[in-house]
Amino acid sequence: MVDKVPLGGAMATPLPEAQRKQLEKYDLPELAGSSQALGSQLINGELRQTLVDYFVRVAKIQQRLSIFEGGLVVIDVRGAGGPIRKRVVIPADALKSYTKAVASLSTIRQDGLTPPKQERRAVLRVYSGLHQFTERNFDPVAALPKTMNDQLAPLRDLLRAISEDRTVTNTVAGYMPKPGDQLVGDDRKVYRVVRVMDQRIVELRCTSQPISIYVEVKDLYNYFIGTTGASEQ
């Protein structure tokens, strides 16, 4: 199933112009073995327990990464272009690695960290049980103790990897379009599928401007982030 997305949403953190033109893929080892988180993510009808929550705000840019039991990872990025919200399921060994990296947060003294400022704030919260957690608040721009940086580095890398990814976290990857489907482009316009030629080339027409484009099915994920309605793979 292709995700529904807000019309103002973005696919990923914008690429440098040279890479955007070439549509090169990033090498993101953090996502090796990961899969799209499609449909309901409940476990036995219950919400997944939060394991790690990392939030950063610098001026108008906000980033949040949450890791849940079972390897579900959700990111929410706002203020850098259109909002980006993605869900992915990471492998069990990766989940163990990320949770282990922050397991000793309680050994870091809160008074050893630079306090948050009005326009800059970061929070790292590590859960040990339901409603039980260790939390540290700090200024994300200030210098941090090495022990704190060591715990944050894997989370920052994972957040970057998911926000930049255009394949694993994009539900358009692997999608087979049908005439009449409507897709939201990375340019924030809506395109209707007119026809699919030889199961390989897709003709799409913009619904708001007299623009038609032709894209190979295998390359749709480079240009589109989701659908305005439900579509099946």
Residues 130-139: pLDDT tens digits?
889 999 999 9
pLDDT at 120: 95
CA distances from 15 to 24, 41, 184, 213 (A): 9, 30, 18, 21
Higher-confidence residue: 208 or 6? 208
**What are the contacts of 201-208 at 24+ separation with CB within 8 A?**
202/177, 207/182
**Range among 2-6, 22-26, 58-62 with highest mean pLDDT value:** 58-62
Instruction: Evaluate whether 24 touches 82 at the Cβ level (below 8 Å).
Output: no
Residues 181-219: b if buried by 16+ CB within 10 A, e if exposed: bebbbbebebbebeebeeeeebbbeeeeeeeeeebebee
- Find, among 36, 46, 85, the residue nearest to 69 by Cα: 46
What are the residues whose beta carbons fall under 8 Å from the beta carbon of 62, sequence distance 6 or more? 55, 56, 76, 77, 78, 79
Least confident of 21-25, 122-126, 160-164, 201-205: 21-25
Both ends of the chain: CA-CA distance in Å?
A: 5
pLDDT in tens, 86-113: 888 999 999 999 999 999 999 999 999 9
pLDDT in tens, 115-168: 999 999 999 999 998 889 999 999 999 999 999 999 999 999 999 888 888 777
Residue 131: left if φ>0, alpha if ψ -120 to 50, beta else—which one?
A: left
What are the residues whose beta carbons fall under 8 Å from the beta carbon of 195, sequence distance 6 or more? 179, 202, 203
Residue 141: left if φ>0, alpha if ψ -120 to 50, beta else—which one?
A: alpha
